[in-house]
């Protein structure tokens, strides 16, 4: 396995439960963290807990190219390129078609699909200059199998999966690797505002989801884990 010691790791979506847990594990392995998230107050709280310097904390709106460009400029002013980019940003709107608004559908695509596109657009060139790098995305199980009420979410995640497979083809002659985690139900804030009967006590815990990301960030340089499926034992959809 590759050591994370001294590696430059950017986690986008570091203010969420999985993101904060992942940051803690990465730091414990000696990585130099760069953290980004939507909520500036939450971001600085996570940064303070992990003693990450303020200049390595970035409030970002992944739906805005101007905001993502500013993130890339801020990171690349400090290092030539990130070694590991973990994209955890995203939203979940689970509603039946008749109550799903056009605005909600568009926001889901903007955040879950266009956001990763912008991040790759602005961080891949520096990785190509460095001739190496690892990008970890979380399309989730709904990027492989559908679910009733998830028209917007599944559209964004199926699109993300297809986009990443296409980009992977472009990167075949480089040492830049893309790993996708198709993660099932995680007991996180994702479910707080979703009106579904779910057994959160039987879901994957945030810290276990973070351990999977941390493990994949250390995959050997001689190979690549193209994808991992991680889902609750009692609800295996794939």
Judged against a pLDDT cut of 70, whether residue 191 lies above it is answered with no
- On average, the pLDDT of the chain sits at 90
Sheet with 227-230, strands from edge to edge, namely: 57-59, 32-37, 8-12, 84-87, 133-137, 176-183, 227-230
What mean pLDDT comes out for the span 172-191? 78
Distance separating alpha carbons of residues 169 and 71, to the nearest angstrom: 26
Which helix (H) or strand (E) covers residue 158, if one does? Answer: helix 151-170
Beta strands in 88-187 (DSSP E): 133-137, 176-183, 186-187
Q: What is the pTM of this model?
A: 0.92
Distance separating alpha carbons of residues 33 and 126, to the nearest angstrom: 17
Structure tokens at 224: 């690549």
Q: Over the stretch 193-220, which tens digit does the pLDDT of each residue have?
A: 655 565 556 667 888 889 999 999 999 8
Structure tokens at 26: 């990465």
Q: Over the stretch 135-167, which tens digit does the pLDDT of each residue have?
A: 999 988 878 888 788 899 999 999 999 999 999
What mean pLDDT comes out for the span 120-146? 91
Q: Over the stretch 47-92, which tens digit does the pLDDT of each residue have?
A: 999 999 999 999 999 999 999 999 999 999 999 999 999 999 988 8
Higher pLDDT among residues 190 and 23, named by residue: 23
């Amino acid at each position: 396995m590759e050591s994370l010691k001294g590696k430059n790791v950017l986690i986008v979506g570091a203010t969420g439960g999985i993101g904060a847990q992942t940051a803690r594990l990465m730091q414990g392995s000696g990585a130099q963290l760069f953290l980004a998230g939507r909520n500036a107050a939450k971001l600085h709280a996570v940064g303070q807990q992990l003693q990450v310097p303020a200049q390595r904390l970035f409030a970002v709106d992944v739906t805005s190219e101007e905001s993502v460009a500013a993130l890339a400029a801020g990171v690349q002013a400090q290092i030539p390129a990130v070694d590991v980019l973990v994209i955890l940003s995203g939203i979940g709107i689970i509603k039946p078609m008749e109550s799903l608004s056009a605005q909600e559908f568009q926001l889901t695509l903007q955040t879950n699909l266009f956001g990763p596109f912008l991040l790759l657009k602005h961080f891949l060139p520096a990785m190509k200059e460095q001739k190496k790098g690892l990008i970890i995305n979380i399309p989730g199980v709904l990027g492989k199998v559908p679910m009733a009420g998830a028209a917007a979410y599944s559209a964004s995640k199926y699109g993300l999966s297809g986009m990443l497979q296409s980009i992977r083809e472009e990167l075949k002659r480089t040492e830049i690797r893309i790993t996708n985690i198709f993660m099932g139900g995680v007991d996180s804030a994702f479910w707080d505002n979703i009106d579904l009967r779910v057994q959160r006590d039987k879901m994957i815990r945030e810290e276990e989801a973070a351990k999977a990301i941390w493990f994949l960030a250390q995959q050997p340089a001689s190979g690549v884990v193209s994808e991992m499926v991680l889902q609750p034992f009692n609800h295996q959809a794939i």
